[in-house]
Amino acid sequence: MTIETLARLPGIAKPQGPLVLAILDGVGWGLGDGGDAVALARKPNLERLWRSSPTCTLAAHGEAVGMPSDADMGNSEVGHNALGAGRVFRQGAALVQDAIQSGRIWQGATWKWLMDGVGNDQPHTLHLCGLLSDGNVHAHIDHVLALVAAADHARVHRVRLHVLADGRDVAEGTFEMFVQMVEAALHAYPARDYKIASGGGRMAITMDRYEADWPMVARGWATHVRGEGRGFESVKAALQVLRAEPGGKSDQTLAPFVIVDAKGAPIGRVQDGDAFVFWNFRGDRAIEITRAFEEATFTAFDRGPQPQVRYAGMMQYDGDLAQPKRFLVEPPVIERTMGEFLAKLRLKTLAVSETQKYGHVTYFWNGNRSGLLEPDFEEYVEVPSDRISFDQRPQMRAHEITDLVLQTLAVADPPDFVRLNYPNGDMVGHTGNLAATIEAIQALDVELGRLLQVVRDMNGILVVTADHGNADDMWMRDGKGRPQMDAAGQHIPKTSHTLNPVPLSIFDPAHADAWRLRDFAANGEVPGLANVAATLFNLLGYEAPKDYAPSVIEAKTP
Protein backbone atom coordinates (compact mmCIF):
# COMPACT_ATOMS: atom_id res chain seq x y z
CA MET A 1 0.00 0.00 0.00
CA THR A 2 1.25 3.47 -0.88
CA ILE A 3 2.31 5.64 2.07
CA GLU A 4 1.74 9.28 1.28
CA THR A 5 4.17 11.99 2.35
CA LEU A 6 2.65 14.09 5.11
CA ALA A 7 2.42 17.86 4.76
CA ARG A 8 3.89 20.29 7.23
CA LEU A 9 1.45 21.58 9.82
CA PRO A 10 0.93 25.36 9.70
CA GLY A 11 1.53 27.05 13.01
CA ILE A 12 3.37 24.25 14.81
CA ALA A 13 7.08 23.81 14.12
CA LYS A 14 9.05 20.62 14.51
CA PRO A 15 10.60 20.59 18.00
CA GLN A 16 14.28 21.38 18.26
CA GLY A 17 14.81 18.33 20.44
CA PRO A 18 13.31 14.84 20.35
CA LEU A 19 9.68 13.83 20.79
CA VAL A 20 9.59 11.16 23.50
CA LEU A 21 6.52 9.01 24.16
CA ALA A 22 6.58 7.24 27.54
CA ILE A 23 3.91 4.52 27.87
CA LEU A 24 3.27 3.71 31.52
CA ASP A 25 1.82 0.26 30.95
CA GLY A 26 -1.20 -0.45 33.14
CA VAL A 27 -1.37 3.00 34.77
CA GLY A 28 -4.98 4.18 34.53
CA TRP A 29 -7.00 6.98 36.10
CA GLY A 30 -8.77 5.36 39.03
CA LEU A 31 -11.10 6.27 41.89
CA GLY A 32 -8.34 7.51 44.18
CA ASP A 33 -9.39 5.21 47.02
CA GLY A 34 -7.43 2.66 49.04
CA GLY A 35 -7.28 0.21 46.14
CA ASP A 36 -5.75 2.70 43.72
CA ALA A 37 -1.99 2.10 43.76
CA VAL A 38 -1.43 5.02 41.40
CA ALA A 39 -3.19 7.46 43.72
CA LEU A 40 -1.48 6.04 46.81
CA ALA A 41 2.05 6.26 45.42
CA ARG A 42 4.41 9.17 46.04
CA LYS A 43 4.83 10.57 42.54
CA PRO A 44 5.84 14.26 42.54
CA ASN A 45 6.89 14.23 38.89
CA LEU A 46 3.64 12.73 37.62
CA GLU A 47 1.57 15.04 39.79
CA ARG A 48 3.51 18.08 38.60
CA LEU A 49 3.00 16.91 35.01
CA TRP A 50 -0.74 16.45 35.49
CA ARG A 51 -1.02 19.81 37.25
CA SER A 52 1.21 21.99 35.08
CA SER A 53 1.08 20.45 31.60
CA PRO A 54 -1.93 19.97 29.31
CA THR A 55 -3.57 16.73 30.46
CA CYS A 56 -6.66 14.80 29.43
CA THR A 57 -7.91 11.23 29.75
CA LEU A 58 -8.33 8.66 26.98
CA ALA A 59 -10.66 5.69 26.66
CA ALA A 60 -8.54 2.53 26.64
CA HIS A 61 -11.07 -0.30 26.65
CA GLY A 62 -14.14 -1.55 24.85
CA GLU A 63 -15.11 -0.12 21.50
CA ALA A 64 -12.37 2.52 21.77
CA VAL A 65 -9.80 -0.23 21.13
CA GLY A 66 -11.88 -2.50 18.89
CA MET A 67 -13.52 -4.76 21.46
CA PRO A 68 -17.17 -5.78 20.98
CA SER A 69 -18.59 -3.64 23.79
CA ASP A 70 -17.58 -1.17 26.45
CA ALA A 71 -17.94 -3.93 29.04
CA ASP A 72 -14.74 -5.46 27.62
CA MET A 73 -11.38 -4.60 29.14
CA GLY A 74 -8.53 -3.40 26.99
CA ASN A 75 -5.11 -5.03 27.00
CA SER A 76 -1.57 -4.25 25.97
CA GLU A 77 -1.87 -5.83 22.52
CA VAL A 78 -4.96 -3.95 21.34
CA GLY A 79 -3.80 -0.83 23.18
CA HIS A 80 -0.52 -0.66 21.30
CA ASN A 81 -2.30 -1.50 18.03
CA ALA A 82 -4.48 1.57 18.54
CA LEU A 83 -1.58 3.76 19.65
CA GLY A 84 0.55 2.89 16.65
CA ALA A 85 -2.20 2.69 14.02
CA GLY A 86 -4.04 5.90 14.85
CA ARG A 87 -7.33 4.16 14.10
CA VAL A 88 -9.56 1.58 15.74
CA PHE A 89 -9.54 -1.93 14.30
CA ARG A 90 -11.93 -4.65 15.44
CA GLN A 91 -10.11 -7.03 17.75
CA GLY A 92 -10.35 -10.35 19.56
CA ALA A 93 -13.94 -11.10 20.49
CA ALA A 94 -15.32 -8.91 17.74
CA LEU A 95 -13.27 -10.66 15.07
CA VAL A 96 -14.34 -14.10 16.28
CA GLN A 97 -17.95 -12.99 16.35
CA ASP A 98 -17.66 -11.66 12.80
CA ALA A 99 -15.90 -14.81 11.53
CA ILE A 100 -18.58 -17.10 12.97
CA GLN A 101 -21.51 -15.01 11.75
CA SER A 102 -20.07 -14.79 8.24
CA GLY A 103 -18.98 -18.43 8.15
CA ARG A 104 -15.40 -17.47 7.25
CA ILE A 105 -14.03 -19.43 10.21
CA TRP A 106 -15.24 -22.74 8.74
CA GLN A 107 -13.86 -21.95 5.31
CA GLY A 108 -10.39 -21.20 6.65
CA ALA A 109 -7.40 -23.48 6.20
CA THR A 110 -7.08 -24.25 9.94
CA TRP A 111 -10.62 -25.56 10.42
CA LYS A 112 -10.31 -27.66 7.27
CA TRP A 113 -6.97 -29.01 8.52
CA LEU A 114 -8.53 -29.93 11.86
CA MET A 115 -11.47 -31.66 10.17
CA ASP A 116 -9.14 -33.60 7.89
CA GLY A 117 -8.03 -35.42 11.02
CA VAL A 118 -11.30 -35.91 12.88
CA GLY A 119 -14.21 -35.28 10.49
CA ASN A 120 -16.21 -37.63 8.28
CA ASP A 121 -16.81 -40.11 11.11
CA GLN A 122 -13.15 -40.87 11.69
CA PRO A 123 -12.31 -42.64 14.99
CA HIS A 124 -10.39 -39.67 16.41
CA THR A 125 -11.70 -37.08 18.86
CA LEU A 126 -12.06 -33.31 18.64
CA HIS A 127 -11.17 -31.75 22.00
CA LEU A 128 -12.41 -28.25 22.80
CA CYS A 129 -10.97 -26.46 25.82
CA GLY A 130 -11.32 -23.00 27.34
CA LEU A 131 -13.12 -20.65 29.68
CA LEU A 132 -16.85 -21.39 29.94
CA SER A 133 -18.29 -17.91 30.28
CA ASP A 134 -20.12 -15.13 28.52
CA GLY A 135 -17.79 -12.52 29.99
CA ASN A 136 -16.30 -11.89 26.51
CA VAL A 137 -12.95 -10.99 28.02
CA HIS A 138 -11.15 -14.27 27.32
CA ALA A 139 -13.92 -16.31 25.72
CA HIS A 140 -17.64 -16.55 25.07
CA ILE A 141 -19.92 -19.57 25.38
CA ASP A 142 -21.53 -18.77 22.02
CA HIS A 143 -18.19 -19.46 20.34
CA VAL A 144 -18.04 -22.90 21.99
CA LEU A 145 -21.55 -23.79 20.88
CA ALA A 146 -20.71 -22.67 17.34
CA LEU A 147 -17.66 -24.97 17.32
CA VAL A 148 -19.81 -27.91 18.43
CA ALA A 149 -22.41 -27.21 15.74
CA ALA A 150 -19.70 -26.97 13.09
CA ALA A 151 -18.21 -30.25 14.29
CA ASP A 152 -21.56 -31.94 13.81
CA HIS A 153 -21.82 -30.45 10.32
CA ALA A 154 -18.36 -31.85 9.52
CA ARG A 155 -19.47 -35.29 10.81
CA VAL A 156 -17.12 -35.38 13.78
CA HIS A 157 -18.33 -38.40 15.70
CA ARG A 158 -16.68 -37.69 19.07
CA VAL A 159 -16.22 -34.31 20.78
CA ARG A 160 -14.89 -33.80 24.30
CA LEU A 161 -15.12 -30.48 26.12
CA HIS A 162 -12.67 -29.43 28.82
CA VAL A 163 -14.37 -26.56 30.61
CA LEU A 164 -12.85 -23.93 32.89
CA ALA A 165 -15.01 -22.13 35.44
CA ASP A 166 -14.85 -18.33 35.39
CA GLY A 167 -16.18 -16.36 38.38
CA ARG A 168 -13.92 -13.45 37.48
CA ASP A 169 -15.32 -11.87 34.34
CA VAL A 170 -18.80 -13.05 35.33
CA ALA A 171 -20.47 -13.51 38.70
CA GLU A 172 -19.24 -16.21 41.05
CA GLY A 173 -21.37 -19.35 41.23
CA THR A 174 -22.52 -19.20 37.62
CA PHE A 175 -20.52 -22.21 36.44
CA GLU A 176 -23.47 -24.59 36.93
CA MET A 177 -25.61 -22.38 34.69
CA PHE A 178 -23.05 -22.43 31.87
CA VAL A 179 -22.55 -26.18 32.24
CA GLN A 180 -26.30 -26.70 31.93
CA MET A 181 -26.37 -24.55 28.79
CA VAL A 182 -23.60 -26.60 27.20
CA GLU A 183 -25.03 -29.97 28.20
CA ALA A 184 -28.43 -28.98 26.78
CA ALA A 185 -26.72 -28.06 23.53
CA LEU A 186 -24.82 -31.37 23.41
CA HIS A 187 -28.06 -33.30 23.87
CA ALA A 188 -29.23 -31.83 20.56
CA TYR A 189 -26.81 -34.22 18.80
CA PRO A 190 -28.06 -37.66 19.93
CA ALA A 191 -26.36 -39.45 17.06
CA ARG A 192 -22.98 -38.10 18.17
CA ASP A 193 -20.76 -38.81 21.14
CA TYR A 194 -20.43 -35.28 22.53
CA LYS A 195 -19.63 -34.86 26.24
CA ILE A 196 -17.89 -32.71 28.84
CA ALA A 197 -14.73 -34.60 29.86
CA SER A 198 -12.93 -32.45 32.44
CA GLY A 199 -12.82 -29.08 34.11
CA GLY A 200 -11.75 -26.88 37.00
CA GLY A 201 -11.42 -23.27 38.06
CA ARG A 202 -9.50 -20.77 35.95
CA MET A 203 -7.25 -19.86 38.88
CA ALA A 204 -6.67 -23.51 39.77
CA ILE A 205 -5.68 -25.05 36.44
CA THR A 206 -4.60 -24.30 32.87
CA MET A 207 -5.04 -20.51 32.63
CA ASP A 208 -1.86 -19.22 34.26
CA ARG A 209 -0.23 -16.17 32.70
CA TYR A 210 3.18 -14.50 32.69
CA GLU A 211 4.72 -17.78 33.89
CA ALA A 212 3.61 -16.96 37.43
CA ASP A 213 2.48 -20.49 38.31
CA TRP A 214 3.46 -23.24 35.87
CA PRO A 215 2.07 -25.92 38.23
CA MET A 216 -1.38 -24.55 37.31
CA VAL A 217 -0.71 -25.46 33.69
CA ALA A 218 0.75 -28.81 34.70
CA ARG A 219 -2.48 -29.60 36.56
CA GLY A 220 -4.46 -28.59 33.50
CA TRP A 221 -2.32 -30.79 31.27
CA ALA A 222 -2.81 -33.75 33.61
CA THR A 223 -6.55 -33.11 33.77
CA HIS A 224 -7.40 -32.41 30.14
CA VAL A 225 -4.73 -34.28 28.21
CA ARG A 226 -3.84 -37.28 30.36
CA GLY A 227 -7.19 -37.71 32.08
CA GLU A 228 -5.54 -37.88 35.50
CA GLY A 229 -7.28 -36.64 38.61
CA ARG A 230 -10.34 -37.18 40.74
CA GLY A 231 -12.94 -39.01 38.73
CA PHE A 232 -16.68 -38.39 38.75
CA GLU A 233 -19.53 -39.85 36.74
CA SER A 234 -20.80 -36.40 35.72
CA VAL A 235 -20.09 -32.70 36.12
CA LYS A 236 -23.09 -32.47 38.44
CA ALA A 237 -21.64 -35.15 40.70
CA ALA A 238 -18.25 -33.43 40.66
CA LEU A 239 -19.72 -30.09 41.67
CA GLN A 240 -21.78 -31.60 44.46
CA VAL A 241 -18.57 -32.86 46.06
CA LEU A 242 -16.13 -30.09 45.18
CA ARG A 243 -18.40 -27.22 46.21
CA ALA A 244 -18.26 -28.46 49.81
CA GLU A 245 -14.46 -28.54 49.90
CA PRO A 246 -11.96 -25.71 50.57
CA GLY A 247 -11.89 -23.35 47.61
CA GLY A 248 -14.90 -25.03 46.06
CA LYS A 249 -17.33 -22.20 46.66
CA SER A 250 -15.46 -20.04 44.18
CA ASP A 251 -15.67 -20.82 40.50
CA GLN A 252 -12.16 -19.42 40.11
CA THR A 253 -10.51 -21.86 42.51
CA LEU A 254 -12.66 -24.93 41.83
CA ALA A 255 -10.49 -28.04 42.03
CA PRO A 256 -9.88 -30.02 38.82
CA PHE A 257 -12.12 -32.95 37.97
CA VAL A 258 -12.19 -35.71 35.35
CA ILE A 259 -15.33 -37.42 34.06
CA VAL A 260 -14.99 -41.21 34.01
CA ASP A 261 -17.00 -44.13 32.62
CA ALA A 262 -18.54 -47.01 34.54
CA LYS A 263 -15.13 -48.70 34.78
CA GLY A 264 -13.45 -45.58 36.15
CA ALA A 265 -11.59 -44.75 32.92
CA PRO A 266 -11.45 -41.11 31.77
CA ILE A 267 -13.79 -40.43 28.86
CA GLY A 268 -11.68 -37.65 27.37
CA ARG A 269 -7.99 -38.59 27.43
CA VAL A 270 -6.19 -37.05 24.44
CA GLN A 271 -4.82 -39.66 22.04
CA ASP A 272 -2.56 -39.68 19.00
CA GLY A 273 -4.45 -38.49 15.94
CA ASP A 274 -6.90 -36.30 17.90
CA ALA A 275 -7.44 -32.57 17.34
CA PHE A 276 -7.38 -30.01 20.15
CA VAL A 277 -8.73 -26.44 19.98
CA PHE A 278 -8.25 -23.89 22.73
CA TRP A 279 -11.26 -21.63 22.29
CA ASN A 280 -10.08 -18.58 24.27
CA PHE A 281 -9.42 -15.65 21.96
CA ARG A 282 -7.35 -13.60 24.40
CA GLY A 283 -3.73 -14.60 24.59
CA ASP A 284 -2.39 -13.93 28.06
CA ARG A 285 -3.94 -16.98 29.73
CA ALA A 286 -3.78 -19.16 26.63
CA ILE A 287 -0.12 -18.97 25.71
CA GLU A 288 1.28 -21.36 28.33
CA ILE A 289 -0.99 -24.30 27.54
CA THR A 290 -0.25 -23.60 23.87
CA ARG A 291 3.46 -23.83 24.56
CA ALA A 292 2.91 -27.18 26.30
CA PHE A 293 1.31 -28.51 23.11
CA GLU A 294 3.70 -26.99 20.59
CA GLU A 295 7.21 -26.60 21.98
CA ALA A 296 9.49 -29.50 21.14
CA THR A 297 11.97 -28.62 23.92
CA PHE A 298 9.39 -27.72 26.55
CA THR A 299 10.83 -27.84 30.09
CA ALA A 300 8.34 -26.03 32.34
CA PHE A 301 6.95 -29.36 33.60
CA ASP A 302 7.06 -33.04 32.69
CA ARG A 303 4.38 -33.63 30.08
CA GLY A 304 4.92 -37.38 30.04
CA PRO A 305 4.21 -39.15 26.74
CA GLN A 306 3.06 -36.34 24.45
CA PRO A 307 0.18 -37.26 22.13
CA GLN A 308 0.59 -36.25 18.50
CA VAL A 309 -2.38 -34.01 17.83
CA ARG A 310 -3.53 -31.25 15.52
CA TYR A 311 -3.52 -28.21 17.82
CA ALA A 312 -5.03 -24.80 17.10
CA GLY A 313 -6.04 -21.69 19.03
CA MET A 314 -9.05 -19.53 18.41
CA MET A 315 -6.56 -16.78 17.56
CA GLN A 316 -2.80 -16.39 17.52
CA TYR A 317 -1.83 -15.65 21.11
CA ASP A 318 1.72 -14.43 20.58
CA GLY A 319 2.57 -12.93 17.24
CA ASP A 320 6.24 -12.46 18.04
CA LEU A 321 6.67 -16.16 18.83
CA ALA A 322 4.10 -17.30 16.25
CA GLN A 323 2.17 -19.30 18.83
CA PRO A 324 0.06 -21.15 18.10
CA LYS A 325 1.20 -22.05 14.62
CA ARG A 326 -2.39 -22.69 13.57
CA PHE A 327 -5.38 -20.53 14.55
CA LEU A 328 -8.97 -20.21 13.44
CA VAL A 329 -9.44 -16.45 13.20
CA GLU A 330 -6.97 -14.10 11.55
CA PRO A 331 -5.74 -11.06 13.46
CA PRO A 332 -6.79 -7.65 12.14
CA VAL A 333 -5.08 -6.35 9.01
CA ILE A 334 -3.49 -3.09 10.13
CA GLU A 335 -1.67 -0.98 7.58
CA ARG A 336 -0.42 2.61 7.26
CA THR A 337 0.83 2.70 10.84
CA MET A 338 2.63 5.65 12.35
CA GLY A 339 5.91 3.79 12.00
CA GLU A 340 5.44 3.51 8.24
CA PHE A 341 4.78 7.23 7.89
CA LEU A 342 7.82 8.10 10.02
CA ALA A 343 9.97 5.88 7.81
CA LYS A 344 8.59 7.65 4.72
CA LEU A 345 9.54 10.99 6.31
CA ARG A 346 13.03 9.63 7.08
CA LEU A 347 12.65 10.54 10.74
CA LYS A 348 14.87 8.53 13.06
CA THR A 349 13.05 6.36 15.59
CA LEU A 350 14.07 4.47 18.73
CA ALA A 351 11.73 1.89 20.30
CA VAL A 352 12.72 0.37 23.64
CA SER A 353 11.28 -1.65 26.50
CA GLU A 354 12.22 -4.66 28.56
CA THR A 355 11.34 -8.16 27.46
CA GLN A 356 7.81 -8.15 28.90
CA LYS A 357 6.68 -5.32 26.64
CA TYR A 358 9.31 -5.20 23.91
CA GLY A 359 6.94 -6.80 21.41
CA HIS A 360 4.32 -4.20 22.20
CA VAL A 361 6.39 -1.14 21.24
CA THR A 362 7.60 -2.97 18.12
CA TYR A 363 5.37 -5.75 16.75
CA PHE A 364 1.99 -4.54 18.03
CA TRP A 365 2.80 -0.84 17.54
CA ASN A 366 3.60 -1.63 13.90
CA GLY A 367 0.27 -3.34 13.27
CA ASN A 368 1.38 -6.90 14.09
CA ARG A 369 4.45 -6.77 11.88
CA SER A 370 7.78 -8.20 12.94
CA GLY A 371 11.16 -6.62 12.31
CA LEU A 372 12.35 -3.15 11.43
CA LEU A 373 10.25 -1.21 8.93
CA GLU A 374 13.20 0.88 7.76
CA PRO A 375 16.60 -0.30 9.11
CA ASP A 376 18.39 2.91 8.13
CA PHE A 377 16.10 5.03 10.29
CA GLU A 378 14.93 2.72 13.10
CA GLU A 379 16.48 1.07 16.11
CA TYR A 380 14.67 -1.37 18.42
CA VAL A 381 16.28 -2.32 21.74
CA GLU A 382 15.19 -4.97 24.25
CA VAL A 383 16.29 -4.78 27.89
CA PRO A 384 16.18 -8.31 29.39
CA SER A 385 13.47 -8.68 32.05
CA ASP A 386 14.04 -10.29 35.43
CA ARG A 387 13.00 -13.92 35.68
CA ILE A 388 11.31 -13.56 39.07
CA SER A 389 7.84 -12.66 40.26
CA PHE A 390 7.64 -8.96 39.54
CA ASP A 391 6.42 -7.99 42.99
CA GLN A 392 9.82 -9.11 44.28
CA ARG A 393 11.49 -6.34 42.26
CA PRO A 394 8.79 -3.76 41.54
CA GLN A 395 11.19 -1.34 39.88
CA MET A 396 11.79 -4.03 37.22
CA ARG A 397 14.16 -2.63 34.56
CA ALA A 398 12.78 0.89 34.42
CA HIS A 399 16.13 2.44 35.37
CA GLU A 400 17.96 0.53 32.63
CA ILE A 401 15.32 1.56 30.07
CA THR A 402 15.80 5.21 31.00
CA ASP A 403 19.59 4.83 30.90
CA LEU A 404 19.41 3.46 27.38
CA VAL A 405 17.11 6.25 26.19
CA LEU A 406 19.27 8.97 27.72
CA GLN A 407 22.44 7.46 26.25
CA THR A 408 20.83 7.40 22.80
CA LEU A 409 19.66 11.00 23.12
CA ALA A 410 23.20 12.08 24.03
CA VAL A 411 24.73 11.08 20.68
CA ALA A 412 25.58 13.64 18.01
CA ASP A 413 22.56 12.77 15.84
CA PRO A 414 19.82 11.62 18.24
CA PRO A 415 16.51 10.11 17.12
CA ASP A 416 13.61 12.39 16.24
CA PHE A 417 11.06 10.14 17.95
CA VAL A 418 11.51 7.80 20.90
CA ARG A 419 8.81 5.45 22.17
CA LEU A 420 9.38 3.47 25.34
CA ASN A 421 7.25 1.27 27.53
CA TYR A 422 7.67 0.96 31.29
CA PRO A 423 5.88 -2.35 32.13
CA ASN A 424 5.81 -1.87 35.92
CA GLY A 425 2.21 -0.78 36.45
CA ASP A 426 0.90 -3.74 34.49
CA MET A 427 3.26 -6.54 35.41
CA VAL A 428 3.47 -5.76 39.13
CA GLY A 429 -0.24 -4.94 39.16
CA HIS A 430 -0.98 -8.42 37.82
CA THR A 431 0.53 -9.94 40.98
CA GLY A 432 -2.25 -8.43 43.08
CA ASN A 433 0.32 -7.09 45.54
CA LEU A 434 -0.86 -3.57 46.42
CA ALA A 435 2.25 -2.54 48.35
CA ALA A 436 4.56 -3.72 45.57
CA THR A 437 2.47 -1.96 42.94
CA ILE A 438 2.67 1.31 44.87
CA GLU A 439 6.44 0.85 44.95
CA ALA A 440 6.40 0.19 41.20
CA ILE A 441 4.61 3.49 40.51
CA GLN A 442 7.07 5.33 42.71
CA ALA A 443 9.97 3.81 40.77
CA LEU A 444 8.35 4.96 37.51
CA ASP A 445 8.03 8.47 38.86
CA VAL A 446 11.76 8.65 39.50
CA GLU A 447 12.47 7.63 35.92
CA LEU A 448 10.02 10.18 34.56
CA GLY A 449 11.88 12.84 36.49
CA ARG A 450 15.08 11.88 34.70
CA LEU A 451 13.35 11.96 31.31
CA LEU A 452 11.72 15.32 31.99
CA GLN A 453 15.03 16.96 32.81
CA VAL A 454 16.80 15.77 29.67
CA VAL A 455 13.86 16.52 27.36
CA ARG A 456 13.65 20.02 28.84
CA ASP A 457 17.38 20.59 28.35
CA MET A 458 17.14 19.46 24.71
CA ASN A 459 14.07 21.63 23.96
CA GLY A 460 12.13 18.47 23.18
CA ILE A 461 8.63 17.23 24.00
CA LEU A 462 7.62 14.44 26.40
CA VAL A 463 4.22 12.76 26.04
CA VAL A 464 3.18 10.46 28.87
CA THR A 465 0.24 8.06 28.58
CA ALA A 466 -0.71 4.38 29.08
CA ASP A 467 -2.25 1.53 27.13
CA HIS A 468 -4.89 0.41 29.66
CA GLY A 469 -5.61 0.44 33.38
CA ASN A 470 -4.43 -2.06 35.99
CA ALA A 471 -2.50 -0.54 38.91
CA ASP A 472 -5.29 2.01 39.33
CA ASP A 473 -7.55 -0.60 40.95
CA MET A 474 -6.09 -3.44 43.00
CA TRP A 475 -9.35 -4.48 44.67
CA MET A 476 -12.01 -6.84 43.40
CA ARG A 477 -15.38 -5.10 43.37
CA ASP A 478 -19.01 -6.12 43.02
CA GLY A 479 -21.36 -4.92 40.30
CA LYS A 480 -21.89 -1.63 42.14
CA GLY A 481 -18.18 -0.93 42.47
CA ARG A 482 -17.99 -1.83 46.15
CA PRO A 483 -14.80 -3.60 47.31
CA GLN A 484 -15.16 -7.32 47.92
CA MET A 485 -13.83 -8.83 51.15
CA ASP A 486 -12.70 -12.33 52.02
CA ALA A 487 -13.78 -14.34 55.07
CA ALA A 488 -11.11 -12.64 57.17
CA GLY A 489 -12.41 -9.19 56.26
CA GLN A 490 -9.51 -8.41 53.92
CA HIS A 491 -9.85 -6.87 50.48
CA ILE A 492 -9.73 -9.46 47.72
CA PRO A 493 -6.83 -8.53 45.41
CA LYS A 494 -7.59 -7.68 41.80
CA THR A 495 -5.00 -8.82 39.29
CA SER A 496 -6.76 -8.01 36.03
CA HIS A 497 -7.00 -4.90 33.89
CA THR A 498 -9.54 -2.18 34.60
CA LEU A 499 -12.12 -0.27 32.57
CA ASN A 500 -10.70 3.06 33.68
CA PRO A 501 -9.44 5.69 31.23
CA VAL A 502 -5.75 6.50 31.06
CA PRO A 503 -4.14 9.93 31.41
CA LEU A 504 -2.29 11.69 28.62
CA SER A 505 0.00 14.62 29.40
CA ILE A 506 2.11 16.73 27.04
CA PHE A 507 5.23 18.46 28.33
CA ASP A 508 6.09 21.00 25.63
CA PRO A 509 7.22 24.28 27.20
CA ALA A 510 8.71 25.61 23.95
CA HIS A 511 5.37 25.51 22.10
CA ALA A 512 2.89 26.19 24.90
CA ASP A 513 1.50 29.22 23.04
CA ALA A 514 1.10 27.43 19.71
CA TRP A 515 -1.63 24.94 20.50
CA ARG A 516 -4.33 23.90 22.98
CA LEU A 517 -6.23 20.74 23.87
CA ARG A 518 -9.17 20.02 21.59
CA ASP A 519 -12.59 20.21 23.26
CA PHE A 520 -14.01 16.79 22.38
CA ALA A 521 -16.80 17.10 24.95
CA ALA A 522 -18.31 20.03 23.03
CA ASN A 523 -19.21 17.58 20.27
CA GLY A 524 -20.16 14.76 22.61
CA GLU A 525 -17.00 12.83 21.77
CA VAL A 526 -14.56 10.91 23.95
CA PRO A 527 -10.94 10.65 22.78
CA GLY A 528 -9.22 7.29 22.97
CA LEU A 529 -5.84 5.69 22.41
CA ALA A 530 -6.26 5.93 18.64
CA ASN A 531 -6.10 9.74 18.93
CA VAL A 532 -2.50 9.61 20.15
CA ALA A 533 -0.80 8.98 16.79
CA ALA A 534 -2.27 12.10 15.14
CA THR A 535 -1.25 14.06 18.23
CA LEU A 536 2.32 12.86 17.88
CA PHE A 537 2.42 13.79 14.20
CA ASN A 538 1.18 17.29 15.06
CA LEU A 539 3.81 17.67 17.78
CA LEU A 540 6.43 16.70 15.20
CA GLY A 541 5.09 19.48 13.00
CA TYR A 542 3.14 17.37 10.47
CA GLU A 543 -0.44 17.00 9.40
CA ALA A 544 -1.80 13.61 10.43
CA PRO A 545 -3.10 11.19 7.77
CA LYS A 546 -6.68 12.12 6.93
CA ASP A 547 -8.14 8.79 8.03
CA TYR A 548 -6.50 8.89 11.47
CA ALA A 549 -8.49 9.67 14.61
CA PRO A 550 -8.08 13.42 15.23
CA SER A 551 -5.31 14.85 17.33
CA VAL A 552 -6.07 15.89 20.91
CA ILE A 553 -4.39 19.23 20.18
CA GLU A 554 -5.25 22.02 17.79
CA ALA A 555 -3.55 25.27 16.83
CA LYS A 556 -4.53 28.32 18.82
CA THR A 557 -6.30 30.98 16.83
CA PRO A 558 -5.04 34.57 17.17
Find out whether 14 and 456 touch, Cβ atoms under 8 Å. no
Torsion, Cα of 29, 34, 37, 39 (10° steps): 50
Instruction: Output the CA–CA distances (angstroms, integers) from residue 227 to 149, 238, 264, 288, 458, in the order listed.
Output: 25, 15, 11, 19, 63
Q: CB 266: neighbour CB atoms within 10 A?
A: 20
Tell me the β-bridge partners of 69.
Answer: none
For 196, the enclosing helix (H) or strand (E) is strand 193-201
Whose CA is closest to 270, among 258, 256, 287?
A: 258
The number of residues making up the chain comes to 558
**Cis check: omega of the bond before 509, within 30 degrees of 0:** no
Distance between CA atoms of residues 134 and 57, nearest Å = 29
Tell me the β-bridge partners of 324.
Answer: none
Residue 386 amino acid letter = D
Distance between CA atoms of residues 238 and 292, nearest Å = 26
Distance between CA atoms of residues 506 and 503, nearest Å = 10
Instruction: Output the CA–CA distances (angstroms, integers) from residue 325 to 180, 293, 366, 480, 525, in the order listed.
Output: 33, 11, 21, 41, 40
The HSE-up count of residue 80 (CA atoms within 13 Å, CB side) is 28
Among 76, 133, 353, 496, the one annotated catalytic: 76
Find out whether 323 and 389 touch, Cβ atoms under 8 Å. no
Find out whether 494 and 486 touch, Cβ atoms under 8 Å. no
Distance between CA atoms of residues 386 and 427, nearest Å = 11
Whose CA is closest to 83, among 535, 554, 544, 542?
A: 535
Q: CB 144: neighbour CB atoms within 10 A?
A: 25
Distance between CA atoms of residues 160 and 393, nearest Å = 42
Strands (DSSP E) found in 292-336: 310-313
Distance between CA atoms of residues 164 and 177, nearest Å = 13
Whose CA is closest to 474, among 440, 443, 423, 446?
A: 440
Distance between CA atoms of residues 258 and 249, nearest Å = 18
Phi-psi sector, 269: left (phi>0), alpha (psi -120 to 50), beta: beta
Distance between CA atoms of residues 536 and 365, nearest Å = 14
Q: Is 76 a catalytic residue?
A: yes
**Helix, strand and coil in the chain, % to nearest 5:** 35, 20, 50
What are the residue numbers of the active site? 76
